[in-house]
Amino acid sequence: MSETVSIPGYRVVRPLGVGGMASVYLAVQESLDREVALKVMAPALAANREFTERFLKEGRITARLSHPNLVTVFDIGQHGTAYYLAAEFIPGGTLRDKLNQGLSVAEALDVVRDVAHGLHYAHEAGFVHRDVKPGNVLFRLNGTAVLADFGIAKSIDGSTMATQVGSSIGTPHYMSPEQAKAEKVDGRSDLYSLGAMLFELLTGKPPYDASDPFTIALMHVTHPVPQLPADVKWLQPLIDALMAKDAAARFPTGEAFAAAVDQLLATAPEAKSLSEISGRRRAAPRLTRTDQQRKVAEAGAPPGRPAWLLPAGAGLALLLVVGGWYATRGGDDAPAPAPAPAASSAPVAAAEPPPAAVSPVPTEVPVTDLTGGLAAPQDVATLLATAQEYVRTGIVERGRRLASPPGDNAIDLYLRVLQIEPGHPQAEAGLQQIADYYESKSKAAFDRGSFAGSMVLAEEGLRARPGDPRLAKLVAESRRALGQ
Contacts of 403 (CB under 8 A, 6+ apart): 101, 102, 345, 409, 410, 411, 434, 460, 463, 464
Alpha-carbon gap, residue 413 to 417, rounded angstroms: 6
Alpha-carbon gap, residue 413 to 427, rounded angstroms: 9
- Which CATH architecture is the domain 95-309 placed in? Orthogonal Bundle (1.10)
Q: Could you write out the DSSP letters of every residue in 332-392?
A: TTPPPS---SS---S-SS--PPPPPPP----SSB--B-TTSSBPPPB-HHHHHHHHHHHHH
As a CATH number, domain 10-88 is 3.30.200.20
Alpha-carbon gap, residue 38 to 75, rounded angstroms: 9
Q: Let me know if 33 is a catalytic residue.
A: no
Domain borders along the chain are: 10-88, 95-309, 380-481
Q: Is the preceding omega at residue 405 within 30 degrees of 0, hence cis? A: yes
DSSP bridge pairs for 12: 27
Q: What is the DSSP letter of 318?
A: P
Buried b (16+ CB within 10 A) or exposed e, 314-335: eebeebbbbbbbbbbeeebbbb
Alpha-carbon gap, residue 454 to 63, rounded angstroms: 33
pTM for the full predicted model: 0.56
Buried b (16+ CB within 10 A) or exposed e, 391-417: beebbebbbbbbbbbbbbbbbbbbbbb
Alpha-carbon gap, residue 389 to 164, rounded angstroms: 53
Catalytic annotation, pick one of 75, 114, 131, 332: 131
Tens digit of pLDDT at every position of the chain (484 positions): 445 688 999 999 998 887 667 788 999 999 999 999 998 888 878 788 877 877 777 677 677 888 999 988 888 888 888 889 898 898 888 999 899 888 899 999 999 999 999 999 999 988 898 889 998 999 988 889 999 877 544 433 334 433 333 334 568 899 999 988 888 889 999 999 999 999 999 999 999 998 888 889 889 999 999 999 999 999 999 999 999 999 999 999 999 999 999 999 888 888 887 744 443 344 444 444 433 333 333 333 333 323 332 222 222 222 222 223 223 333 343 333 333 333 333 333 333 333 333 333 333 333 333 223 333 346 888 899 899 988 887 776 666 678 866 677 899 899 999 999 999 999 999 999 999 998 998 898 788 776 766 787 888 889 999 999 999 999 999 888 877 6
Q: Is 237 exposed, middle or buried (0-12, 13-18, 19+ CB in 10 A)?
A: middle
Could you tell me the CA-to-CA distances from 99 to 19, 96, 206, 353, 411 in Å, in that order?
22, 5, 12, 21, 19
What phi, psi does 298 have (nearest 5°)? -70, 145
Pick the CATH number of 380-481 from 1.10.3470, 2.60.120, 1.10.287, 1.25.40: 1.25.40
Strands (E), 64-201: 73-79, 82-88, 137-139, 145-147
Alpha-carbon gap, residue 211 to 217, rounded angstroms: 11
Cβ 350 vs Cβ 143: under 8 Å: yes
What phi, psi does 180 have (nearest 5°)? -60, -30
- Nearest residue to 265 (alpha-carbon basis) of 254, 257, 277: 277
Same fold, 95-309 and 380-481: no
Dihedral of alpha carbons 145, 146, 149, 152, sign: positive
Cβ 69 vs Cβ 117: under 8 Å: yes
Direct distance between the N- and C-terminal alpha carbons of the chain, in angstroms, rounded to an integer: 21
Helix (H) or strand (E) holding 120: helix 105-125
